[in-house]
Structure 1
Amino acid sequence: MYDLGVRRVLVTGTGPLGCVPAELAMRSRNGECSAELQRAASLYNPQLVQLLRSLNSQLGSDVFIAANTQQTRNDFVSNPQAYGFSTSKIACCGQGPYNGLGLCTVASNLCPNRNQYAFWDAFHPTEKANKLIVQNILTGDEKYMYPMNLSTILALDSRT
């Protein structure tokens, strides 16, 4: 990609795999996240940053930027009320336990206000949750972005 002229690539990590409504519906007895899947995500994301750090070092430039979307989503999964959600366990649209089974169809349960839900369907964040993720991509510190956020990148790139 670099040889083709690409100079910035935003790479997102994985989200909280074990806490999505689909996993709660299939694996959880009491609404707890799947420890195995959470561990997999927590191993993957730091390794992604290491890989991108190594690639950037080889290229001598911060071409690859890592977005720790897992951290953002973990924030609102662990404390949904702090972000204006009533729940991070139940999907807005779906079937079965936690609305975590099947696709969002006309036969699905549909929440009355999607802004109160962190997840739209069994896997995907709602529009409001995605806005929180994007806000951290734009302005988040190194907890959320490495080596810099998108606003910093845009400011740097506007000078060249």
Structure 2
Amino acid sequence: MDFLAESMGFDHYIPPFATASGPEILEGVNYASGGAGIRNETGQFAGDRISMDRQLENHKTTVSRIVKMLGNRESAMDYLSKCIYAVAIGSNDYFNNYFIPVVYPTHFRFTPSQYATVLRRQFSQQLKTLHKYGARKVAVHGLDMPRCTLFRLSICAINEASCMAYITNAITLWNDELKPMVAGLSRSLPDANFIFINFTGITTSIVNSQGFNEDINFPCCQVYGAGNIIPLNCKSNGNVCSNRSQYAFFDAVHPTEALYELQTRRTYRAQSPTDSYPFDIEHLVQL
């Protein structure tokens, strides 16, 4: 989201909720939490995280502070209606929930299609809550490219081709739920505009055109081997590539800054009609 703030003209990072205070909250607050998801149990095996429901509670606190700052609720709601809300969540509900059947029962309770529908219903309610708290310009990001990095391969525990097919199908089902959801929210909440960002399409186009090193077994840093439960982190004292801008992934799961920046610039200003629906964030800002 830092690159998005830059695209919108900010010369500083948006502060996290934990430290944001005083007048600075009028310029934005970052509620993101590593490992968190739409479902409250998502990511719990990895430690503490702030789920979407808790993030909404934190935003409610921010709204109450803005009401006090501006003097009344009407002024606060008018102010918030001009803000951009970038919502990028859901990846962990798959990679730190549904795709880990040894920890979570969701894999056995729902088919991929059923899970996407259940998740979408919960997410839709959360976005309606966000609207209740003043949001009128909301950009909903689809999930990132479903590539089989070492992390995804370790989750699948099957060969790469099968892993790609399984993950791609599940993520596609989820992304396919989002576009009609966004359209439905804009219809049912006519005072608001919801848009969908096709993150998978954007990323695939960027990777294909930018010449990134696409060997998924060799991210920028040297990661722990298959003997670990999840070969995710960079290896202590391991090798790190000298040309990071040529790699799509830094470790076994996280994209490099180079890829993040290109992704965000394109989510702000679409380069293809399929990048966003019904329009891009730049247009959303101008409404």
- TM-score past 0.5 threshold: yes
Please tell me whether residue 84 in structure 1 is matched to residue 211 in structure 2: yes
User: Separation in 2 of the partners of 1:49 and 1:61?
Assistant: 19
Q: Percent identity?
A: 29
Determine which structure has more spread, i.e. the larger CA radius of gyration. 2
Would you say the 8 A contact 1:117–1:126 is kept in 2? yes
Q: In terms of mean alpha carbon deviation, does 84-93 or 134-143 score higher? A: 84-93
Please tell me whether residue 47 in structure 1 is matched to residue 174 in structure 2: no
User: Separation in 2 of the partners of 1:101 and 1:113?
Assistant: 22
* Paired AA for residue 211 in structure 2: G
Aligned to 2:132: 3
Aligned residues: 151
Aligned to 1:111: 241
Aligned to 1:36: 166
TM-score (normalised: structure 2): 0.47
Please tell me whether residue 146 in structure 1 is matched to residue 274 in structure 2: no
Residue among 138, 141, 144 paired with 1:12: 141
Extract unaligned runs of 5+ from structure 2. Answer: 1-129
More strand by share: 1
Please tell me whether residue 64 in structure 1 is matched to residue 194 in structure 2: yes
User: Separation in 1 of the partners of 2:140 and 2:238?
Assistant: 33
Would you say the 8 A contact 1:138–1:149 is kept in 2? yes
Q: What SS class does the counterpart of residue 110 from structure 1 fall into?
A: coil
**Runs ≥4 residues deviating over 6 A:** none
User: Separation in 2 of the partners of 1:31 and 1:111?
Assistant: 27
TM-score (normalised: structure 1): 0.79
* Paired AA for residue 133 in structure 1: Q
Extract unaligned runs of 5+ from structure 1. Answer: none
* Paired AA for residue 147 in structure 1: P
Please tell me the root mean square deviation across aligned C-alpha atoms, in Å.
Answer: 2.5
